Structure 1
Amino acid sequence: MSFVIPEYHHPDFSLLQFTEAPDAAYEVVDKDGVAPDYFHSTSMYPEYFKINGKWLLAGESRMDSSVVICDDGHLEVVENRNLKKGDKVILGRSEKCEEGIYMHCGGFMTEEEKTDDQFVFRQGRSRETSYARDYDNLFELLRYEREHGNILWVMGPAFSFDHDARAAMQALVDNGYAHGLMAGNALATHDLEGALLHTALGQDIYTQACQPNGHYNHLDVINKVRRSGSIPQFIEDYNIDNGIIYSCVKNKVPIVLTGSIRDDGPLPEVIGDAYEGQGAMRNLVRKSTCVVCLATMLHTIATGNMTPSFRVMQDGTIRPVYLYTVDADEFVVNKLLDRGSLSATTIVTNVQDFIAIVAKGLGVM
């Protein structure tokens, strides 16, 4: 059965709660990076604001940001640190029309889903959960997104330590199942180490056997990349022909690498400024319609915070953004369970096994 995007249902603005609601109030920012008192903070759900008697949707939303009324009339969701003096910031802490603000959580739900209050067991997600249907749904979703959407992968370094996982992810990239990659210094460093030396942190990526002086390997690779000046130049200089990063460079898949206080090196492309890195990540998230977060707690939480549950497409239609988070630790995946059943799916498993199953399920390996 082929994947079908759920239809979005706008609120019924003819209802009294909307017609009798006041216009949303706003206040002008008087200092860069500082929101007015009582600013409205956004969620991951579609939010509407009554401006001059008309309900407007704030597109390109994200959690924990302010809503600015722009001079041309459209609404822009802006992180508070990026507010500028003179911006008109919407005020209000209620979300059911009382202050001209409405949060629409059920836009993609059918009437049956809205009224389904059956008591059922095993609604949580754990190591004991069966994920067979989740995998089937993911295969269909990724096939759809390859042609009609934008697939963003958020990856921890676990993939770079295993030969088969690297090969599986490379196959997905080579076959068009990646439109963006976000990671840290470690994923890229050890993947390039695997490509050049067949090790990750000095261990053979197939046998896991430690190599003599192997603890130097990733440091040597970082040094070589820095001498080359960039990852693409390093790939050319050393005739690299395998791996996740190689495949992304070859296929012109955008990569955002954000740094950590503990980084070695780092690689030249790693963004060391946390807020510059967050901005670069959000630029990729803004394009995405399917986000898959894999074995990286901090990147997963950061990405979840900046990923809305919906996307306004160029033709004006509204579709869901699908978020998957996969980790062997139940705590990590359950951090995002409150995003809503449609927009977030969590899988508790080893991500190296996960990526191999996905590659085989999609027929690329």
Structure 2
Amino acid sequence: MNKRIIELSGHIIDSMTLTRTMAITMDKGGEFDILEIDVGRKKSDTSYAKIEVQAESPELLNSILDELSVLGAFIDEIREVNLVAAEKDKVAPEGFYSSSNHLTHIFYDGEWILVEDIEMDCLVVVDEQKRRAFVKPIANIRAGDKIVVGLDGVRVTPPHRSRDKQQVFEFMNSDVSSEKPLMNLINGIADEMKEIKAKGGKIGIVGGPAIVHTGSGKYLASLIKEGYIDVIMAGNALATHDIESNLFGTSLGIEVETGKIVAHGHTHHMRAINRINNSGSIRAAVEDGTLTGGIMYECVKNDVPFVLAGSIRDDGPLPDVITDVIDAQKLMRKYAQEVDMVLMISTMLHSIAMGNLLPSRVKSICVDINPSTVTKLSDRGSAQVLGIVTDIGTFLPLLYNALHEDD
């Protein structure tokens, strides 16, 4: 049998890390022996386990260890990280280490080095002259890059579930359900937002057009104006329908305030795009008086950056939409490293995209009427996401009110 010893430490029982370690090992056809275990007896105590993982082949053992490393399992025998130079642009050496979104260090030249700008599904590259490690998506790999291969010398530290009384973000370990205590969650999110802003932190919004369709655009606009939101990431649709609602009072041709169908209202979003094109940009439309309110207006007036990532289904699109998705991804990647919290609201594709870019340290909330949106985020590895299944037309007004309870 091929064997390696791993170590687990932290709140490994409360977080089910120990149980999941054993389950993964058995499910993949391996075996394990618990060599040592120390269970914390107080809420502040952590636990520790030393486990021997066994498999019939080196390939199977590496496959098991690869999955366990994402849980925070550390191979007991400390070895130098293995670096192999890429031979071609966009081509990594076989057996390259694929990163998780958790805090990661590598053991290089006798010391542990932090992997900067951590993101899942990337490669870890080492700058040997500057003694720095950072991640790169495979599309950015260049010939000569020194890339981490294998699991030796890699230590992953996932966020652990607290042993104190349950907090709002502890619900991330429960099933996706519409039966969670909505007001308790919203009040908890509001408290977290206030705390982040009090410390000078940043909060981002990833939003879909349903924010406007449900009449909640005014609440998001107010949050931007009041300084709660530091960056907006969306597509052509959110901006288009927000501008439509400001220019014509409709969204998808429906009056936002009354819900009435407007004659020829289905053309309003195209007319909105046309007016912005005439001004030249969203900022220019604000400056020349064409656009006088709404989400995008408040972004311009309050210098809140926005990333509008294009897609093949876009009408127009607006002149500010980034039609090269790789360029849009680069900008989203930049802001993903700068924020302390992200609210992903009613947009499946943008939420999943942002979830893939976020470090697990970022407190993340996904709000959608469709449970599968939240489930897909979790399945992709964004386990830190707090999922709330509800109508955005309910969520945003309640969140706004919770943020102003003491006013």
The TM-score normalised by the length of structure 1 is 0.84
Structure 1, residues 165-213: CA drift from partner, whole Å, max 9, x if none?
1111111111111000000000000100111111112211111212221
Instruction: Give 1:335 deviation, angstroms.
Output: 2.1
Cα separation, 2, equivalents of 1:37 and 1:151: 38
Query: Please, which of 204, 207, 210 is the counterpart of residue 158 of structure 1?
Result: 210
Residue 148 (structure 2) pairs with residue 90 (structure 1): yes
The answer to whether the 8 A contact 1:36-1:89 is kept is yes
Greater shift, 232-241 or 192-201, is seen at 232-241
The TM-score normalised by the length of structure 2 is 0.76
Structure 1, residues 335-356: CA drift from partner, whole Å, max 9, x if none?
2336576x32110001121111
Query: Please, which of 76, 85, 100 is the counterpart of residue 153 of structure 2?
Result: 100
Instruction: Give 1:31 deviation, angstroms.
Output: 1.0
Query: Please, which of 113, 135, 139 is the counterpart of residue 56 of structure 1?
Result: 113
Query: Please, which of 348, 351, 359 is the counterpart of residue 392 of structure 2?
Result: 351
The answer to whether the 8 A contact 1:162-1:206 is kept is no
Report the secondary structure of 2:338's partner residue.
Answer: coil
Cα separation, 2, equivalents of 1:59 and 1:133: 35
The answer to whether the 8 A contact 1:68-1:78 is kept is yes
- Two-structure CA RMSD over aligned residues (Å): 2.3
The answer to whether the 8 A contact 1:337-1:346 is kept is no
Instruction: Give 1:128 deviation, angstroms.
Output: 1.9
Residue 128 (structure 2) pairs with residue 74 (structure 1): no
Q: Which ranges of structure 2 fall in alignment gaps of 5 or more residues?
A: 1-43, 49-73, 165-170
Question: What amino acid is the match of 2:390?
Answer: T
Question: What amino acid is the match of 1:74?
Answer: R
Cα separation, 2, equivalents of 1:153 and 1:132: 20
The answer to whether the 8 A contact 2:92-2:138 is kept is yes
Report the secondary structure of 2:135's partner residue.
Answer: strand
Size of the alignment, in residue pairs? Answer: 327
More strand by share: 2
Q: Which residue of 1 aligns with 2:299?
A: 248
Q: Which residue of 2 aligns with 1:230?
A: 281
Cα separation, 2, equivalents of 1:204 and 1:65: 45
Cα separation, 2, equivalents of 1:256 and 1:332: 21
Cα separation, 1, equivalents of 2:317 and 2:191: 37
Residue 403 (structure 2) pairs with residue 362 (structure 1): yes
What pairs with 1:98-247 in structure 2 (closer than 5 Å)? 99-106=152-159, 108-110=160-162, 112=163, 123-147=174-198, 148-163=200-215, 165-247=216-298
The answer to whether the 8 A contact 2:356-2:382 is kept is no
The answer to whether the 8 A contact 1:256-1:280 is kept is yes
Pick closer, same or farther for the CA change 1:268–1:340 going to 2, 3 Å: closer
Report the secondary structure of 1:252's partner residue.
Answer: coil
Instruction: Give 1:239 deviation, angstroms.
Output: 4.2
Cα separation, 1, equivalents of 2:314 and 2:212: 16
Question: What amino acid is the match of 2:376?
Answer: K
Question: What amino acid is the match of 1:152?
Answer: G
Cα separation, 2, equivalents of 1:214 and 1:139: 36
Instruction: Give 1:109 deviation, angstroms.
Output: 4.6
Structure 1, residues 26-56: CA drift from partner, whole Å, max 9, x if none?
1111111111111101011111211011111
Structure 1, residues 265-293: CA drift from partner, whole Å, max 9, x if none?
00011011111111111111111110110
Q: Which protein has the larger Cα radius of gyration, Structure 1 or Structure 2?
A: 2
The one of the two structures with greater contact order (alpha-carbon pairs below 8 A, sep at least 6) is 1
- What is the percent sequence identity of the aligned residues? 34
Cα separation, 2, equivalents of 1:178 and 1:219: 28
Report the secondary structure of 1:262's partner residue.
Answer: coil
Instruction: Give 1:64 deviation, angstroms.
Output: 0.2
Q: Which ranges of structure 1 fall in alignment gaps of 5 or more residues?
A: 1-6, 12-16, 114-119, 311-320
Question: What amino acid is the match of 1:89?
Answer: I
The answer to whether the 8 A contact 1:157-1:187 is kept is yes
Report the secondary structure of 2:186's partner residue.
Answer: helix
Greater shift, 183-192 or 20-29, is seen at 20-29
Question: What amino acid is the match of 1:103?
Answer: V
